[in-house]
Amino acid sequence: MVDLKGQYNEIKEEVNSSIQEVLETSAYINGPKVHEFQKNLEDYLGVKHVIPCANGTDALQIAMMGLGLQPGDEVITADFTFAATVEVIALLQLTPVLVDVNEHDFNINIEAVKKAITPRTKAIVPVHLFGQCANMEAIMEIAETHNLFVIEDNAQAIGANYTYSNGTKAKAGTIGHVGATSFFPSKNLGCYGDGGAIFTNDDALANTIRGIVNHGMYVRYHHDVVGVNSRLDSIQAAVLNAKLPNLDTYNKKRQTAAIKYNAAFEGIKNIITPKLSNGCNNICDTCDCHVFHQYTLRLIDVDRDALVKHLNEKSIPCGVYYPIPLHKQKAYADDRYNEADFTVTNQLVQDVISLPMHTELDDEQIAYITSTIINYINE
């Protein structure tokens, strides 16, 4: 699905020398590399504060802790996402409220969010799934009306732009009260281990969060709040510093691959290629509205599991993200939920298939992947 070795070979010298600097200084924890990366990412995103942490799941949890959410507070999020999003809500003893997503862009459905709001609702967690922003303008409007916090799960869309209806743009993850991302190796900006970060434009919240990631300490050995230990280590920061200048190029390469996939599948009636939303209608050089963390097809009247098996036999990696809606997972099932409210997710889990998507895909690979799929469907 990804080619981390191929990508490393292209930037070997930068990465090696950046790691070497850490080894020479032996500043493994909170060293200058971490600070340097924080500044570089703040500049790249155009956000006031980046707080690095240990992984994307921690980033979400810490964001919720920083906002002071309390047990019993209801937090609305998408039914169709990676479990980390709902996991941290449950872990903090907040009440997860899962809602359906859109058929076209797989992102949280605005009408479903509105319907789910109660007097106990405190926050919405839109997930920018597969590399494209949820409808942030509508979400921020709902949040303002109901006095809710918005926590963006930006683990899959770093570098993507969101375009408001007036044409202004903002980077994914910097629009809500707080954003969280992951630097897991296969993410669009991945390190060589675990890593994550929290973004916010709110000075007071940033200060609170900086204490939370460090055992609730604001003054050394004075623990004012219950915190966690969640750090980005200097070696991972070194890798990220070497890779960040390439992020836009990496995302462009993903977009180019998506354009080629789309072209190959054009006119195949059993395949629905990924749809753009938020007013964007084609993948172009300037918009970056979709950074294709995943390239995900919907299959119509195709035995998906048989196709997966066929692709595996042809040595083509593929993935099903996600095979089970969160509201049907044992850990998150709840009598409150009504199947009729999840018609889209229930359908998507049967239809979707994600194809290899990374920065090193070449024309030959794309041709092999797409022709294998098309031949199988036409058989």
Regarding 102 and contact with ligand PLP (CB under 6 A), the answer is no
What residue is closest to ligand PLP based on CB?
Answer: 56
Regarding 56 and contact with ligand PLP (CB under 6 A), the answer is yes
Considering only the stretches 33-41, 151-159, 168-176, 363-371, report the one whose residues sit in contact with ligand PLP under the rule CB under 6 A.
Answer: 151-159
Beta carbon of residue 185, minimum distance to ligand PLP (angstroms, whole number): 10
Considering only the stretches 54-62, 168-176, 233-241, 306-314, report the one whose residues sit in contact with ligand PLP under the rule CB under 6 A.
Answer: 54-62
Beta carbon of residue 369, minimum distance to ligand PLP (angstroms, whole number): 22
Q: Which of 18, 61, 77, 85 binds ligand PLP (CB under 6 A)?
A: 85
Look at strands 271-272 and 295-299 and give their pairing.
antiparallel
Regarding 176 and contact with ligand PLP (CB under 6 A), the answer is no
Regarding 213 and contact with ligand PLP (CB under 6 A), the answer is no
Phi-psi label, residue 30: left if phi above 0, alpha if psi -120 to 50, beta otherwise = left
Q: Which of 7, 61, 77, 81 binds ligand PLP (CB under 6 A)?
A: 81
Q: Which of 65, 123, 127, 238 binds ligand PLP (CB under 6 A)?
A: 127
Beta carbon of residue 215, minimum distance to ligand PLP (angstroms, whole number): 20
Cβ proximity to ligand PLP, 182 vs 277, nearer residue = 182
Cβ proximity to ligand PLP, 176 vs 196, nearer residue = 196
By CB under 6 A, what part of segment 314-373 binds ligand PLP? none
Cβ proximity to ligand PLP, 302 vs 349, nearer residue = 349
Q: Which of 31, 52, 159, 196 binds ligand PLP (CB under 6 A)?
A: 196
Regarding 156 and contact with ligand PLP (CB under 6 A), the answer is yes
Beta carbon of residue 219, minimum distance to ligand PLP (angstroms, whole number): 29
Kindly list the distances between the CA atom of residue 177 and the CA atoms of 129, 149, 212, 234, 253, in Å, as whole numbers in the listed order: 19, 6, 17, 27, 30
Considering only the stretches 27-35, 152-160, 330-338, 351-359, report the one whose residues sit in contact with ligand PLP under the rule CB under 6 A.
Answer: 152-160
Phi-psi label, residue 366: left if phi above 0, alpha if psi -120 to 50, beta otherwise = alpha
Q: How many CB atoms sit inside 10 A of residue 330's CB?
A: 6
Regarding 155 and contact with ligand PLP (CB under 6 A), the answer is yes
Interface ranges with ligand PLP (CB under 6 A): 55-57, 81-82, 84-85, 127, 153, 155-156, 182, 184, 194, 196
